[in-house]
């Protein structure tokens, strides 16, 4: 606390990101990064872009990157917005679409940045209580809110819904903007992108951090009708004209163009996820069926917090949330086959 702090800064409870340890090398299964490197074509494009040209500002419109995303998703360039990670895109949505004092709604157990952005931008929120099996009760979203935020798959549960659930919501609340956060969609869920031309109240947000192995370069994007995209551009251009640096623009462009590497990497992670889920079940864990690059698990005999601490001592980081209703659950990111074999071996040793 400091006497120069604004009321907003004094009151806010900032988001706490997963640990990025510096003191020793852990098997990192705590922040849902991709365990594989980006495609060789991406690394080559980074090398090519690392030249004296970094003295020049990047393209403020990231036009080439938007073009590549538009081509991949078969939409128009003016239906694509890019930002410095999908966190920034989600943050920009608040001043773009919600007025201070408006209300939005999202599940009670979901991406923990949503309440933080709401507080930062003076937007009220109503949460919808997840069912006991962690499914989202779509019929419970309230009417009269200005926005609904829903990740698909949800985080940290990994549970996905069919797009007909999203479509029903879009139809039921035509005057509410529905923002679908698809950070993990590529690992087996169905994208709502094909609905953007049918519904002007839909915005889909995705990221290069997970399925495209670029968390360190911070690139995210939104797809929606051109009116929604223009609102995001207006916020961006009132904040920072150059949110995506030259290297990140080129790398992300190469990443979206290398479809073969993308599908191959996603498939590897999905295979490892399914195998790990079976092994964890054999060890007495309840495993929520996941369509993401992580598993949400709880053990019948050993408390999640104890497992978290013991795994850390063994050099493995996973995520434990001290949040009501999920304090006995762990979120485990999918690493390489070898990482997951070590995890299972260490857990087995803890069970004897
Ligand atoms: C549900 C969800 N949405 C968005 C993000 C943000 O990702 P990024 O800012 O790296 O694009 C994350 C990151 O973990 C997430 O879990």
Report pLDDT digits (tens) over 254-281. 999 999 999 999 999 999 999 999 999 9
Centroid of chain to Cα 292? 10
The reported pLDDT for the residue numbered 281 is 97
Q: Whose CA is nearest to atom 13 of ligand 1?
A: 183
Q: For the chain, which residues score pLDDT lower than 50? A: none
198 and 88 in one domain? yes
CA distance 71 to 234: 23
- Among the atoms of ligand 1, which is closest to the Cα of residue 90? 4
Q: Which atom of ligand 1 is nearest to the CA of 86?
A: 11
Count of H helices and E strands in the chain?
A: 11, 13
Residues 232 and 265 in one domain: no
**Structure token pair of residue 254:** 């190469």
Read off the tokens for 18.
């997963």
Please tell me the predicted confidence (pLDDT) of residue 20.
86
User: Pick from 242, 258, 274: which residue ends a domain?
Assistant: 258
Both 79 and 211 in one domain: the answer is yes
pLDDT at 222: 98
The answer to whether the pTM exceeds 0.95 is yes
Same domain, 281 and 181: no
According to the model, what pLDDT value does residue 16 have? 87
From ligand 1's centre to the CA of 87, what distance in Å? 6
What phi and psi, each to the nearest 5 degrees, are found at residue 31? -130, 20
Residue that has been written with the tokens 């163009």 in this structure: 257
DSSP string, 111-169: -THHHHHHHHTT-EEEEEPPPTTS---GGGPPTT-SEEEEESS-TTT-----HHHHHHH
190, part of any domain: yes
Residues 307 and 158 in one domain: no
Atom of ligand 1 nearest to the CA of 18: 14
Please report the pLDDT score of residue 22 as a whole number: 82
- What whole-number distance in Å separates Cα of residue 163 and Cα of residue 204? 12
Domains identified in the chain, total number: 2
Q: Which atom of ligand 1 is nearest to the CA of 154?
A: 1
Domain end position, chosen among 214, 243, 258? 258
Contact 343, 316 (CB under 8 A): yes
- Tokens for 163? 């797009």
- Of 224, 255, 218, nearest to 240 by C-alpha is 218
Q: Name the residue among 270, 291, 283 with its Cα closest to residue 343.
A: 283
Tokens of 12: 């806010």
pLDDT of residue 21: 84
Is residue 156 located within the same domain as residue 182? yes
Contacts of residue 254, defined as CB under 8 A and 6 or more positions apart, other chains included, come to: 39, 41, 42, 44, 45
d(CA 209, CA 143): 33
Using the mean position of ligand 1's atoms as its centre, give its distance from the Cα of residue 196 in Å: 21
E strand map for the chain: 27-28, 80-83, 103-107, 124-128, 147-151, 177-181, 202-207, 220-224, 285-287, 294-299, 316-317, 319-320, 330-333
* Helical (H) or strand (E) element with 262: helix 259-282
Q: Residue 49: inside a domain, yes or no?
A: yes
Residue 211 and residue 72 in one domain? yes
**173 and 209 co-located in one domain:** yes
Ligand 1 center to residue 208 CA distance, Å?
Answer: 9
| Residue that terminates a domain, selected from 225, 258, 291 | 258
- 314 and 230, same structural domain? no
Question: What is the structure's pLDDT at 24?
Answer: 75
Question: What's the confidence (pLDDT) of residue 51?
Answer: 86
* Token duo for residue 75: 């939409």
Closest C-alpha to 276, from 212, 331, 232 = 331
- Longest CA–CA span in the chain (Å) reads 60
Same domain for 32 and 176?
no
76 with 25, same domain?
A: no
115: CATH: 3.40.640.10
| 313 and 172 in a common domain | no
Give the binding-site residues of ligand 1, using a 6 Å CB cut-off: 32, 85-87, 111, 151, 155, 181, 183, 207, 209, 215, 220
Cα–Cα distance between 201 and 166 in angstroms, integer?
11
HSE-CB for 35 with a 13 A CA cutoff: 22
CB 162 within 8 Å of CB 190: yes
Residue 2 lies in a domain: no
Provide the residue range defining the domain that includes 50: 40-258
């Amino acid at each position: 606390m400091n006497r120069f702090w604004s009321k907003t800064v004094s009151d806010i409870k900032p988001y706490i990101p997963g640990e990025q340890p510096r003191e020793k090398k852990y098997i990192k299964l705590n922040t849902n990064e991709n365990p594989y490197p980006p495609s060789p074509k991406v690394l080559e494009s980074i090398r090519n872009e690392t030249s004296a040209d970094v003295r020049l500002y990047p393209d403020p419109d990231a036009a080439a990157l938007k073009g590549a995303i538009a081509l991949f998703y078969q939409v128009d360039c003016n239906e694509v917005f890019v930002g410095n990670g999908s966190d920034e895109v989600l943050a920009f949505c608040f001043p773009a679409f919600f007025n201070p004092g408006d209300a939005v709604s999202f599940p009670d157990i979901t991406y923990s940045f949503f309440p933080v952005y709401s507080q930062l931008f003076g937007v009220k929120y109503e949460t919808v209580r997840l069912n006991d099996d962690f499914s989202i009760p779509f019929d419970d979203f309230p009417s009269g809110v200005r926005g609904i935020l829903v990740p698909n798959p949800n985080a940290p549960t990994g549970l996905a819904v069919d797009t007909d659930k999203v479509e029903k919501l879009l139809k039921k609340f035509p005057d509410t903007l529905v923002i679908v956060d698809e950070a993990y969609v590529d690992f087996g869920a169905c994208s709502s992108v094909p609905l953007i031309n049918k519904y002007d109240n839909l915005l889909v947000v995705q990221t290069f951090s997970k399925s495209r192995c670029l968390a360190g370069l911070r690139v995210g994007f939104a797809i929606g009708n051109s009116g929604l995209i223009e609102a995001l551009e207006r916020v961006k251009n009132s904040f920072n004209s150059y949110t995506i640096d030259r290297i990140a623009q080129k790398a992300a462009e190469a990443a979206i163009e290398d479809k073969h590497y993308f599908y191959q990497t996603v498939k590897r992670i999905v295979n490892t996820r399914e195998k790990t889920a079976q092994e964890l079940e054999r060890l007495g864990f309840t495993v929520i069926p996941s369509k993401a690059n992580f598993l949400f698990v709880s053990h019948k005999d050993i408390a999640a917090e104890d497992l978290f601490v013991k795994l850390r001592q063994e050099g493995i980081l996973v995520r434990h949330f001290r949040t009501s209703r999920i304090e006995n659950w762990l979120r485990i990111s999918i690493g390489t086959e070898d990482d997951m074999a070590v995890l299972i071996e260490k857990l087995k040793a803890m069970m004897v």
